[in-house]
Amino acid sequence: MRIHDTPHPGRKSLRLVVWFLLLLSVLLIFAVSIKVIVMIGESVFDGKHRLTVFLTDEKKDAVVISLEPQGKTVLLRLSGKPTKKDAESALLTSFDGSMRHANSFPPDGSPQEILGSFLFTPGVVYQTVTPYDLLRLYLLSYQHEKDEVEEQAITVSSGHAAIDPAQRYFVDNGILSEGKTVAIVNSTGVSGLGQRLENVIDSLGGGVVSVTTGRDLQEPTHIFYTGEKSYSVQKIERIFHQQAEEGNTQAADILIVIGKRSLPLGIFATLEQ
């Protein structure tokens, strides 16, 4: 007489649990992979050109770190508890992004120590840059010897720029090597903005050939270029958060017509306003 085995209910339940866990693992890996791919796609650091970031924390301590693979590392320790907008105005530059520490970072530390504090602390708030950018900056900071780091303590106070435009901390060798000429037209009705933008472009290594005042006021800002869209054009696009277009550049390689909508940008802010 043959006795047939009856499947134990517990074995069937165990198989269902195993299959459920396998499916859950696959979905989790898929979700993480998509998130990583998106994060890499949103990265602003291409690994070739200078990247400048503003770092702050809950105590409003602030530093600026600027790195470039083939250039010097710049570490500016800012006193006065400035905001990102204040710092851009005072340093005559536009940051590529910013990060806010969930607690506090060592403001007197080296670039590696400061970036590492952000990298290994959960709850960091990123603006424009991504955790992938932070990881790459952290690794890049170890490639530069201590004597390749330019450090400066700067007080950000109201009413004037904190640095002389001649102190070119943020020169981008990509812009410098392209040698593109830039013409600026101030169509905002606000005096001094063309000069301010000239200082910003010059601090990055660009060459401004003319600064004029527009006959008519304009609301939007326009960026025109000729030929291919160079890295210099892409950098200016990031400063103004808008796309450039091919057009008449008035004998320069790039023409920037500043409109009133760009007034809120940090590079145009004054600490008196």
Compute the distance between CA of residue 239 and CA of residue 251 in angstroms, rounded to an integer: 22
Buried b (16+ CB within 10 A) or exposed e, 239-263: bbeeebeeeebeebbbbbbbbbebe
Q: Check residue 161 and give its pLDDT.
A: 63
In the sheet where 73-79 sits, what is the strand order? 125-127, 97-100, 51-56, 62-67, 73-79, 149-155
Phi, psi (rounded to 5 degrees) for 10? -65, -35
Q: Check residue 28 and give its pLDDT.
A: 80
**CB within 8 Å of 11: residues ≥ 6 apart:** none
The pLDDT averaged over each successive group of 10 residues in the chain (273 residues) is 56 77 81 70 82 94 93 90 90 93 90 94 92 93 80 77 71 93 95 93 94 94 94 95 92 95 87 38
Q: Check residue 273 and give its pLDDT.
A: 40
Residues 271 and 89: beta-carbon distance below 8 Å: yes
| Tokens 């517990």 found at | 10
Nearest to 65, CA basis, from 151, 3, 131: 151
Residue 33: CA count within 13 A, CB half-sphere: 6
Summarize pLDDT for 138-168 with one digit per residue, the tens. Answer: 999 988 777 678 898 988 875 556 666 656 7
Give the DSSP letter of residue 233: H
As a whole number, the mean pLDDT across the chain is: 87
